[in-house]
Structure 1
Amino acid sequence: MKRSVVFVIFPEVKLLDVTGALQVFADAGNQEEGEDVYDISILSQAGGMVATDSVIRLESEPFETWQGREIDTLLVAGGIGTTVAMQDSALIGAITSLGARSRRVGSICSGSFLLAEAGFLAGCRATTHWDSCRWLERRYPDVTVEADAIYVRDGRVWTSAGVTSGIDMALAMVAEDLGRSEAVRLARQLVTFMWRPGGQSQFSIPLQQQVKDATGRFDALHDWILENLTADLRVESLADRMNMSLRTFNRLYVEDTGQTPAKAVENYRLEAARQLLSESRLSVARVAETCGFGDDERLRRAFVRVFGVAPREYRQRFQASVA
């Protein structure tokens, strides 16, 4: 029997909040033989075509068509229409009713606010888009907000961070339902990374570097650093690579990025180490060597200072099963 996956939408919902996760469930199973695993529905209050935050409208069924029916997975999307939707008592009541009949309840991005209004996040750990975490914390003090997490699972309640993290959460749900191998197949088919374990950071260090470097002056240097983590990355060598004097390089780098070159190099190495710890079976010593730390003790000290946890503990918490 197919598992029902129901998406709740509303006017001005974010299109990718819906379609990203929906595509994961739609592609699960043997598509060539027509063996769909999930039966997907999109619901709204009145049904019909619903405007999204883009030029595309989504077709939906009214809530009443699902009255009394059991649901496997209920997912509530977010978007710029969330604030208005939170004030809609009929919509919140429908989410409460649908969720009570669901094995699993989840939200994507600011959809977490609708789950909270419906009472599903009381006493739970949860997350949402990084830009809304403080608002979620202030509005619902009984929710433990994990602001740096990609997605959080607390019992039958799942919440994900902004937009594309809904894909990570959907892949994790598929892994729970159908096994890791199917989730890996889907990730490859969607040309995405292996799904990121829940609880990992919403923030990409390379992306943060790009945001800080508003001029783009050091983009090529950053790309080179990422490809050469074991090279001589002392500040003198980096200055030479940029054809600058040491003094000028240091001054411009700090002005453009808000941090020293040495700190940036450490951050890139830590990001690479964090990825290897969660996605490979390399020993901690080998990870340290591969990422340019030289030895595992230097890696350990950096990890504890920045992440507050040792590399081995991080791996135990976040490593996805590796075939």
Structure 2
Amino acid sequence: MTMPDHPLHIGFILAPQFTLAPFANFIDALRLAADDQDLSRQIRIKWKVMNHNWIPVKASCGVEISPTSALLDPAEFDYIVIVGGLIHSGKRTPNELIQYLKRAAQAKAGLIGICTGSFILARAGLMDGKRCCVSWFHYKQFIEEFPHLDTHFEEVYIADRDRITCAGGTGVIHLASYLIERHLSRFDAAKSLRIMLEDSNMSLQSQQLQPLPPNIRESSNPHVKKAMLYIEQHMSSPLTSKAIAERLNLSVRHLERLFIAETGETLANFSKHLRLNRASEMLKLSPHPINDIAIECGFSNSTHFARVFKQTYSVTPSTYRHQYQTKQATPQPNNHKM
């Protein structure tokens, strides 16, 4: 097989309480493309796991990863990857690592933020003027902290010149395949995806969208899917149809037509039903007062919430919660036979 002019060099930096799965998926996809015959040798791709003090870094799940190198000259790498994790763990990314990322940017190394690594890059001022991808789960927190950045949660990853940000999870496999195809070959990228049980035909044809959150139906139309994600992200303060259409660069009429064709509902009705579904789950599974649930699900007050809820479920929220709790407390017959 034809060898690239030089191996693809990637350096990994693990933030305190980093998420293990994205790191493992990313490096495993690289490993599968780096060598033939599944021997896992670092031939076409080479990588280092770096730290400033050689101390193992603990992931959010408790597993510790030992560095394989000190902080090397960033000019040696094509990309430096910062793997983020729990953003409210109380553990700050060491200043030595932040300064290293800044030196890497000056050295023109590509910077990749995985999971909440996008927060780390943004806090270091390294995402200014660049499009940024975050998970739909962290989108609201991100735009509150960085309202000036061009932030998106629809795609799995976004490559904007020398900055790449990825939502994390198994999405990093698709980011890795993008890098493998870009620097090695489409064959190598497809090989990694195939071995990792990902659909190589789908992944290599186009950018992947993030999976929809729970309680949102799948959609084959990307505009409709993005609209659904916007509705989910703004559950407590619902966006108007006009605001959603503007974010998608569509007219309200065109978006409504697409939405109805795909779901059979208007944007407003879909939003209402989604919020009611969330409210019903909270009534069953959470101890929160009904007024708090009403506000959390985007209703102006408990009276408004009770009226709309009863129109759909034929009972008030308090009756609905009581009926569920009573059913759960009722002993079920034991039909097990010895």
Shorter-chain TM-score: what band? 0.5 to 0.7
Matching residue of 2:163: 157
Q: Which of the residues 187, 202, 206 maps onto 2:210?
A: 202
Correspondence for 2:185: 179
> Partner amino acid for 1:26?
R
Instruction: Look up the equivalent residue of 2:157 and give its one-letter code.
Output: Y
RMSD of aligned residue pairs (Cα, Å) = 3.2
**Equivalent pair of 1:130/1:162 in contact (CA under 8 Å):** no
**Is residue 47 from structure 1 mapped to residue 57 from structure 2 by the alignment?**
no
Aligned to 1:283: none
Deviation at 1:27, TM superposition (A): 1.4
The answer for the alignment partner of 1:288 in structure 2 is: none
Cα distance change on mapping 1:35 and 1:124 into 2, 3 Å: closer
Which one of 116, 121, 125 corresponds to residue 115 of structure 1? 121
1:116-174 Cα offsets, whole Å, 9 max, x none, are 12222101111112111122222223310012111111111111113211111111111
Distance 1:176 1:7 in 2: 19
Q: Distance in 2 between matches of 1:188 and 1:69?
A: 32
TM-score (ref. length: structure 2): 0.58
Q: How many Å apart are 1:304 and its aligned residue?
A: 6.3
1:82 & 1:59 partners in 2: Cα distance? 23
1:200, 1:192 → 2: CA distance?
12
Deviation at 1:35, TM superposition (A): 6.7
- Write the letter of the residue equivalent to 1:42: V
After superposition, residues 56-71 of structure 1 pair within 5 angstroms as: 56-61=63-68, 63-64=70-71, 66-67=72-73, 69-71=75-77
Query: Take 1:84 and 1:270, find their aligned partners in 2: how far apart are those partners?
Result: 40
Look up the equivalent residue of 1:5 and give its one-letter code.
I
What is the match of residue 226 of structure 1? none
Name the counterpart of 2:36: 31
Q: Mean alpha-carbon deviation: is it higher for 155-164 or for 28-37?
A: 28-37
SS state of the match for residue 11, structure 1? coil
Unaligned runs of 5+ in 2: 1-5, 226-253, 262-338
CA distance in 2, matches of 1:198, 1:125: 18
Distance in 1, matches of 2:74 and 2:155, equals: 34
Change (3 A) 1:115 1:269: closer
Equivalent residue number for residue 26 of structure 2: 21
Name 1:103's counterpart in structure 2.
109
Is the 1:74–1:99 Cα contact (8 Å) retained in structure 2?
A: no
Structure 1: distance between partners of 2:206 and 2:96:
32
Distance 1:304 1:138 in 2: 32
Q: How many Å separate the matches in 1 of 2:46 and 2:61?
A: 25
Q: What SS does structure 2 have at the residue aligned with 1:175?
A: helix
Residue 196 of structure 1 and its aligned partner are, at CA, apart by 6.4
Please give the alpha-carbon distance, in whole angstroms, between the structure 2 residues aligned to 1:87 and 1:112. 13
Per-residue deviation, residues 178-211 of structure 1 (Å, max 9, x unmatched): 122211111101111222667542124xxx5xx3
Change (3 A) 1:113 1:302: closer
CA 1:185–1:11 in 2, change beyond 3 Å: closer, same or farther?
Answer: same
Structure 1 regions of 5+ residues with no counterpart? 213-256, 258-263, 275-300, 309-323
Q: Once the 2 structures are TM-superposed, how far is the Cα of residue 11 of structure 1 from its aligned partner?
A: 2.3
Q: Identity over aligned residues, as a percent?
A: 17
TM-superposition CA deviations, 1:77-110 (whole Å, max 9, x none)? 1111676455643321122123433532111111
Q: How many Å separate the matches in 2 of 1:164 and 1:73?
A: 20
Find runs of 4+ consecutive structure 1 residues off by over 6 angstroms.
301-304
Which residue in 1 is equivalent to 2:258? 305
SS in 1 for 2:137: helix
CA distance in 1 between counterparts of 2:257 and 2:188 reads: 34
Instruction: Please tell me whether the aligned partners of residues 150 and 199 of structure 1 are also in contact (alpha carbons under 8 angstroms).
Output: yes
Residue 96 of structure 1 contacts residue 118 of structure 1 at CA under 8 Å; is this kept in 2? yes
Task: Say if 1:5 and 1:134 are closer, same or farther in 2 by CA, change over 3 A.
Answer: same
1:128 matched to 2:81? The reply is no
The separation in 1 between residues aligned to 2:67 and 2:18, in whole angstroms, is: 13
Alpha-carbon contact 1:86-1:114 (below 8 Å) kept: no
Q: How many angstroms apart in 2 are the aligned matches of 1:87 and 1:59?
A: 17
Asked if the contact 1:172–1:183 (Cα under 8 Å) also holds between the matched residues in 2, the reply is: yes
Normalised TM-score (structure 1): 0.60
Larger Rg: 2
